[in-house]
Chain A
């Protein structure tokens, strides 16, 4: 099926963001594990896997629209040296993803591609839950202090 104007580009930009997220979160997971925070390792690892599923859906949909999925391009990874930096980096990435999906939804509505718009709307719901998780972690750190927060994540729930 031939895509409407600009839709495949938007899907590929979303794909670039997802691929970046996979790598950034996987590294964050392993950094947390290496620092002794098994709980955070588990959560970041799960985030990375979720982004892999999103990647699969995007690749499928781009091929469905007779486009070429771009799995070669990556955005710059934001790699922290401390847990708060990892969390802030994740939050920034998710906010960027939400912003891109929002403009994608508007564009798809304008050109009349309601199927792709529906896919973006599904994705934006997931990304917003990620935004919420990162915001909650950073708020909790502010409330209870970093030491108390980290001690809660030394073991897996």
Chain B
């Protein structure tokens, strides 16, 4: 599903950004460019939708064993 039409941003892309650990509203607006000059401004006003999706992505972060000792959460960088 598209979540930002002006910039053609999809749910999957927002989740990917969340997977890298970016979930703060201001950071999402920055990284995704939601206040770009060509935007209608709607998404920056409705940034909660993006925060929710980013958190969903963050929840899907990979868990990889490090050595034989213990599990450590590791996020992938796009």
Q: Please, which residue of chain A has its CB at the minimum distance from the CB of B46?
A: A76
Q: Is A81's beta carbon under 8 Å from chain B?
A: yes
Q: Is A80's beta carbon under 8 Å from chain B?
A: yes
Interface residues of B, count at CB 8 A:
6
Query: How far is B1's CA from A85's CA once the two chains are assembled, in angstroms?
Result: 7
- Chain B residues with CB below 8 A from A85, complex form: 1
- Chain A residues with CB below 8 A from B5, complex form: 77, 79
Q: Is A137's beta carbon under 8 Å from chain B?
A: no
User: Would B2 and A80 count as touching, CB distance under 8 A?
Assistant: yes
Q: Which residues in B have some Cβ–Cβ distance to A below 8 Å? A: 1-2, 5, 10, 42, 46
Q: Which residues in A have some Cβ–Cβ distance to B below 8 Å? A: 76-81, 85, 89
Query: Could you pull out 12 A-B pairs where Cβ atoms are within 8 angstroms?
Result: A76-B42, A76-B46, A77-B5, A78-B1, A79-B1, A79-B2, A79-B5, A80-B1, A80-B2, A81-B1, A81-B10, A85-B1
